[in-house]
């Protein structure tokens, strides 16, 4: 062989692997079916319902890369696995989509409309919708259509280009960045030129329905479902595992956990849903390793008037909200930039463990434990929460906020740069516990009692009057949270404080460090100054 021929062959041999490295390979880790189930592959456009039947109980449904549009909720069988494909770089490629593509737009006096839109989903309740706060006032009724589950999307084939539009309450008011559903005329109007855009609207309420147990949903993108406010898109029921999915752009919560037998939600990226990342109730729930981001979406400009979702974060929106849980474990999650609390537990949660989470830049508290009992909140990082600075002076927007709850331990947390440090609030809530509630069964009433806050690192460098404090308030209702019998105590915490003077709160209001320690709090604590 000549020298030139040899060089040519060597170039081919060495070039081939380099070229192969640039190919994006679609991969799947397909578990074996359990029981008598089978593995059934579904290409986008084929019937998933037929695949469910063919796979049988315990079977595996592999959804190939592409957009699988769900026009009616699917009914899994017990122990089935729904799994998607990924690129070699980990990008999820199989999309379970509840929307319809809109085409055939007709121009109409600076707006555009499309006809034949007969969908109208289940309405939520009016109290869900944002009425604003004194710090962020909005026009009355601005977000009244938050109760309608339909959403509108421009150019959401990729995350980088996706825009969710604000649902306006009248056609006359509809302008740029907005849309209006004329339900009576079966028309959708938009205020931006849609003729060169890819436009979709949420139509289907849920991807899954039925009562199957032991279902696994893994490796999928679940998007654009017209789920109902205060409800979920994926229902994680008895022994469900929702693992390694991206759940985005849905009207209600990304996931609802509703179970008598433990469900687990882990390693998901749950973002830009209009209500919460996760809501739910039940026994032995586990929520671990997830990322919750930008839920109850604000527009990038932080323009409160054109927010596409419009839920009120003081009633129900943000990272999570759990009610009536027993032995809930929330660990190793990252919750950030949610328009509401980072994680929220409200009404009769008992024996909860909240640990090793990072809560950052949420509008309200990083961790909010409310009218519940018996929690251990430890080893969390809460950074820069309370960005809304709503209702200053009452402790909302703390790194960790405990409201009218008994028997709560808060320890070994790092709290830095939040609107408040660690706060306890005692309030009069519906005259006490719900009849037969979990806390009541334990003989615990709804009040701030036996709150023990110790060995935390708390940095509060802000100096505005009335905020940035750590301590207890009673919301002006004259409760007995400050009496020795209620045993609310702060000990051995490490503080770094700003140039102000009153970084603590007790019965008399904001007080200085000397007055705080004279009450018996943190008499072995440490107090330093911000640089």
> pLDDT tens, position by position, for the chain (531 residues)?
444 444 433 343 334 333 334 455 677 688 888 888 999 999 999 999 999 999 999 999 999 999 999 999 999 999 999 999 999 889 999 999 999 999 999 999 999 999 999 999 899 887 889 988 888 888 888 999 999 999 999 999 888 899 999 999 999 999 999 999 999 999 999 999 999 999 999 999 999 999 999 999 999 999 999 999 989 999 999 999 999 999 999 999 999 999 888 899 999 999 999 999 999 999 999 999 999 999 999 766 666 667 899 999 999 899 999 999 999 999 999 999 999 999 999 989 999 999 999 999 999 999 999 999 999 999 999 999 999 888 888 889 999 999 999 999 999 999 999 999 999 999 877 655 555 566 766 666 788 999 999 999 999 998 887 899 999 998 777 788 999 999 999 999 999 999 888 999 999 899 999 999 999 999 999 999 999
Which candidate, 248, 304, 241, 299, places its Cα nearest to that of 276?
A: 248
Give the global pTM. 0.93
End-to-end Cα distance, the chain: 74
β 111-114/187-190 pair status = antiparallel
Contact 86, 26 (CB under 8 A): yes
The phi, psi pair for 120, rounded to 5°, reads -155, 105
How far apart CA 311 and CA 290 sit, in angstroms, is: 22
Residue where the block lists tokens 């037969």: 436
The phi, psi pair for 4, rounded to 5°, reads -65, -40
Eight-class DSSP state of 438: H
How far apart CA 201 and CA 199 sit, in angstroms, is: 7
Residue 465 is predicted with a pLDDT of 79
Eight-class DSSP state of 434: P
The secondary structure of 407-459 as a DSSP string is EEEEES-EEES-SEEEEEE----TTSPPTT-HHHHTT--SS-EEEEEES-EEE
Question: How large is the greatest C-alpha to C-alpha distance in the chain, in angstroms?
Answer: 98
Classify 319 as helix, strand or coil. strand
Which residues does residue 354 pair with via DSSP β-bridges, in sequence order?
Answer: 330, 377
Q: How many CB atoms are closer than 10 A to CB 126?
A: 11
Residue 93 is predicted with a pLDDT of 96
Contact 499, 463 (CB under 8 A): yes
How far apart CA 253 and CA 161 sit, in angstroms, is: 22
Contact 63, 94 (CB under 8 A): yes
For residue 499, the Cα-to-chain-centroid distance in whole angstroms is 35
- Which stretches does DSSP call E strand in 52-124? 60-63, 66-69, 81-84, 86-87, 94-97, 99-102, 106-108, 111-114
Residue 441 is predicted with a pLDDT of 66
Classify 318 as helix, strand or coil. strand
Classify 133 as helix, strand or coil. strand
How far apart CA 267 and CA 288 sit, in angstroms, is: 7
Which helix (H) or strand (E) is 50 found in, with range?
Answer: helix 48-55
> What is the Cα gyration radius of the chain?
26
How far apart CA 70 and CA 82 sit, in angstroms, is: 14
Which residues does residue 67 pair with via DSSP β-bridges, in sequence order?
Answer: 95
Question: Token pair of 525, please?
Answer: 């604590």
For residue 67, the Cα-to-chain-centroid distance in whole angstroms is 24
Residue 358 is predicted with a pLDDT of 98
Find the angle CA(64)-CA(68)-CA(73) to the nearest 5 degrees: 125
How far apart CA 257 and CA 80 sit, in angstroms, is: 18
Classify 524 as helix, strand or coil. coil
């Amino acid at each position: 062989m000549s020298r030139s021929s040899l060089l040519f062959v060597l170039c081919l041999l060495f070039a081939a692997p380099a070229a192969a490295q640039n190919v994006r390979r679609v991969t799947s880790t397909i578990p074996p079916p359990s029981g008598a189930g089978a593995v059934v592959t579904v290409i986008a456009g084929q019937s998933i319902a037929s695949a469910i039947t063919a796979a049988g109980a315990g079977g595996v449904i592999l959804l190939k890369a592409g957009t699988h549009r769900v026009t009616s909720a699917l009914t899994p069988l017990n122990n089935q696995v729904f799994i998607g494909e990924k690129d070699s770089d980990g990008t999820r490629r199989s999309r379970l989509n509840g929307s319809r593509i809109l085409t055939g737009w007709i121009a109409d006096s600076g707006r555009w409309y499309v006809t034949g839109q007969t969908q109208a989903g289940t309405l939520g309740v009016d109290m869900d919708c944002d009425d604003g706060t004194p710090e962020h006032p909005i026009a009355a009724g601005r977000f009244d259509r938050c109760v309608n589950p339909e959403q509108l999307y421009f150019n959401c084939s990729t995350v980088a280009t996706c825009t969710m539009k604000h649902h306006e309450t009248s056609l006359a008011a509809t302008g740029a960045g907005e849309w209006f559903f004329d339900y009576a005329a079966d028309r959708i109007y938009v205020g931006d030129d849609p003729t060169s855009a890819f436009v979709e609207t949420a139509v289907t309420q849920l991807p899954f329905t039925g009562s199957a147990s032991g279902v696994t949903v893994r490796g999928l993108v679940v998007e654009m479902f017209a789920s109902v406010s205060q409800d979920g898109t994926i229902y994680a029921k008895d022994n469900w595992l929702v693992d390694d999915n991206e759940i985005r752009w849905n009207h209600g919560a990304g996931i609802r956990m509703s179970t008598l037998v433990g469900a687990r939600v882990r390693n998901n990226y749950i973002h830009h849903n209009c209500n919460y990342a996760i809501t739910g109730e039940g026994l032995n729930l586990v929520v671990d390793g997830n990322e919750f981001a930008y839920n109850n979406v604000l527009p990038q400009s932080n323009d409160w008037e054109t927010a596409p979702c419009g839920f009120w974060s003081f009633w129900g929106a943000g990272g999570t909200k759990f009610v009536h849980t027993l032995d809930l474990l929330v660990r190793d999650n990252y919750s950030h930039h949610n328009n509401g609390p980072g994680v929220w537990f409200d009404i009769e949660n008992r024996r909860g463990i909240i640990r090793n989470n990072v809560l950052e830049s949420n509008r309200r508290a990083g961790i909010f434990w409310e009218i519940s009992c018996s929690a251990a909140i430890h080893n969390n990082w809460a950074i820069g929460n309370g960005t809304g600075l709503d209702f200053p002076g009452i402790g909302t927007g703390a790194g960790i906020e405990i409201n009218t709850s008994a028997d709560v331990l808060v320890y070994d947390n790092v709290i830095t740069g939040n609107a408040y440090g660690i706060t306890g609030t005692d309030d009069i809530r519906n005259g006490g516990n719900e009849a037969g509630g979990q806390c009541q069964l334990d003989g615990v009433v709804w009040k701030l009692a036996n709150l023990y806050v110790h060995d935390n690192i708390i940095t509060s460098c802000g100096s505005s009057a009335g905020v940035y404090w750590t301590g207890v308030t009673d919301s002006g209702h004259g409760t007995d949270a400050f009496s020795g019998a209620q045993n609310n105590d702060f000990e051995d915490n490490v503080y770094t404080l700003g140039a102000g003077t009153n970084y603590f709160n007790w019965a008399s209001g904001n007080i200085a460090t000397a007055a705080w320690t004279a009450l018996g709090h943190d008499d072995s604590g440490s107090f330093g100054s911000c640089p």
